[in-house]
Amino acid sequence: MKPAAIESFFATLQAANPLPVTELAFTSVFELLAAVLLSAQATDVGVNKATSRLFPVANSPQKIIDLGLEGLESYIKTIGLYHSKAKHLMQTCKILVEQHNSVVPRTREALEALPGVGRKTANVVLNVAFGEPTMAVDTHLFRLGNRTGLAPGKTPLAVELKLLKRIPKPYLVDAHHWLILHGRYICQARKPLCWQCGVSQFCDFKAKTPAS
């Protein structure tokens, strides 16, 4: 995808959705961190159902700790891999209390030092909570980066770095949301809905696809 097409690609997405937001439900930075940690290999809908029960009872690191591991698991057992996620969230809460005065840190290094928090999760928190121009490459962004020609790469990190380099600066903060939503609802994995796509004219995949 050429630079002029990239500009038009994001201008079109911005026009359709000027203020994109995450579909995870949260009311604080800690709730966001917990929700993103729980969202690995799970849907936002599924996570929201669990956190709608959890957060009214425990929405801070200390309150999660006070639940105990079994208590925490009872709230999130509908989420895949809930045993390991509960363990990681509990360990993270203890570190937040002991090392960060219960405040979610806003540096990549400190975030990635938390159990269960990898580069992608840290990028989401930095972007959504703190407005940093980061790119959390999940399966949707990885697919779009390669399929559209926007940022081809063999690894999530390669796609992330190329997206940060190629996306025009005015779109960087919101680009993560636009790409996730586009991948979730239009540029789907098995069968992209090209006939519903507002940016198909800028996409390498569409250019290579015979008209149906």
- Catalytic residue, candidates 85, 120, 174, 206: 120
Alpha-helical runs (H) found in 39-138: 44-54, 61-76, 82-100, 108-112, 119-128
Residue 138: C-alpha distances to residues 7, 175, 207 (Å): 22, 13, 24
- Given 85, 138, 174, 206, the catalytic residue: 138
Contact in structure between 3 and 204 (CB atoms under 8 Å): no
Residue 35: phi and psi, rounded to 5, are: -65, -45
List of residues 6+ apart from 50 with CB closer than 8 A: 38, 75, 76, 78, 79
Distance CA 21, CA 130 (A): 13
Told to judge if 174 belongs to the known catalytic residues of this protein, a careful annotator would answer no
Give one DSSP letter per residue of 126-186, joined into a string. HHHTT--------HHHHHHHHHSSSS--SSHHHHHHHHHHHS-GGGHHHHHHHHHHHHHHT
Q: Tell me if residue 208 is catalytic.
A: no
Residues annotated catalytic, as ranges: 120, 138
